[in-house]
């Protein structure tokens, strides 16, 4: 089985996350996608609670599975009750699925910080890595060429400019965000009055 791991704060999950998962599933011939809700130490400020973020990730998973059941949500990182690191998550996944091929799905903005990740060089022995490159990202240095030349990394062009930060700001300003969110996620946010205050 080919398992993809896609981690994120999902605060909130949006159409970019949905499109990335569907695109990866078809392009990389993924059998199962594991959505891991993170306690990312680089993103300490979170607007929604861990429970809400996990429930919204479950909404995203349901949307993915409308086109074929392949997605599930993991709350393992949240259950640790401490900052989580990708290398620890991959060790956990490897224990669960020792015989499967594993691919880590990463957005280019996260991949730019790759050299600062805990034990990042160990990831190459734990999984393949698919980097989804945006059409444009403001600021920051490009991913190091030395990393992109690694045989375990595949770079995929992926034009999606939606961001969770922008969505939170639009909601706080009283504007509609339905065009940026999967329907179940949008409904959940409205039902629980999330992000009304920036």
Instruction: Give domain status of residue 174, yes or no.
Output: no
Q: Are 167 and 15 in contact (CB under 8 A)?
A: no
Distance CA 78, CA 144 (A): 30
CA 132 to chain centre: 11
Please indicate, yes or no, if residue 50 is contained in any of the structural domains: yes
Is residue 134 included in any domain, yes or no? yes
Domain of residue 70: give its range. Answer: 2-162
Structural domain contains residue 182: no
Could you tell me which residue, 73 or 150, shows the higher pLDDT? 73
Q: What is the pLDDT of residues 24-51, one digit of tens each?
A: 999 999 999 999 999 866 655 668 999 9
What single DSSP character describes residue 141?
A: P
Look over the chain and give the mean of its residue pLDDT values, rounded to a whole number: 89
Query: Confidence class of residue 139 from pLDDT cuts 50, 70 and 90?
Result: very low
Sign of the CA dihedral 91, 93, 99, 104? Answer: negative
Return d(Cα 169, Cα 165) in angstroms, integer.
6
Token pair listed for 121: 């060089």
Is residue 101 included in any domain, yes or no? Answer: yes
- Indicate the pTM of the whole model: 0.90
Higher per-residue confidence, 45 vs 98: 98
pLDDT digits (tens, 9 = 90+) for 70-84: 999 999 999 987 888
> pLDDT per residue over 156-171, tens digit each?
998 888 899 999 999 9
- Please indicate, yes or no, if residue 167 is contained in any of the structural domains: no
How many domains in the chain? 1
- Position 173 scores a pLDDT of 95
What ranges in 134-174 are assigned the alpha helix state H? Answer: 145-148, 164-172
Of the spans 33-47, 88-102, 127-141, which averages the highest pLDDT? 88-102
Q: Is the pLDDT of residue 142 over 90?
A: no
What CATH number does residue 30 fall under?
Answer: 3.40.50.620
Q: What is the pLDDT of residue 62?
A: 98
């Amino acid at each position: 089985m080919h398992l993809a791991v896609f981690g994120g704060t999902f605060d909130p999950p949006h159409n970019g996350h949905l499109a990335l998962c569907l695109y990866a599933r078809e392009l990389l011939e993924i059998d199962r996608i594991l959505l891991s809700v993170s306690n990312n130490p680089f993103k300490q400020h979170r607007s929604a609670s861990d429970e809400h973020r996990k429930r919204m990730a479950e909404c995203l998973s349901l949307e993915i599975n409308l086109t074929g059941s392949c997605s599930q949500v993991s709350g393992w990182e949240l259950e640790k009750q401490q900052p989580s690191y990708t290398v620890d998550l991959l060790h956990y996944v490897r224990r669960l699925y020792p015989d499967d091929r594993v691919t880590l799905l990463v957005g280019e903005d996260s991949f730019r910080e790759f050299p600062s990740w805990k034990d990042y060089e160990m990831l190459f022995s734990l999984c393949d890595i698919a980097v989804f490159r945006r059409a444009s990202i403001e600021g920051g240095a490009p991913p190091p060429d030395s990393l992109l030349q690694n045989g375990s990394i595949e770079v995929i062009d992926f034009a999606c400019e939606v961001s969770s930060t922008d969505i939170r700001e639009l909601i706080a300003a009283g504007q509609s965000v339905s065009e940026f969110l999967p329907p179940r996620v949008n409904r959940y946010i409205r039902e629980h009055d999330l992000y009304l205050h920036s």
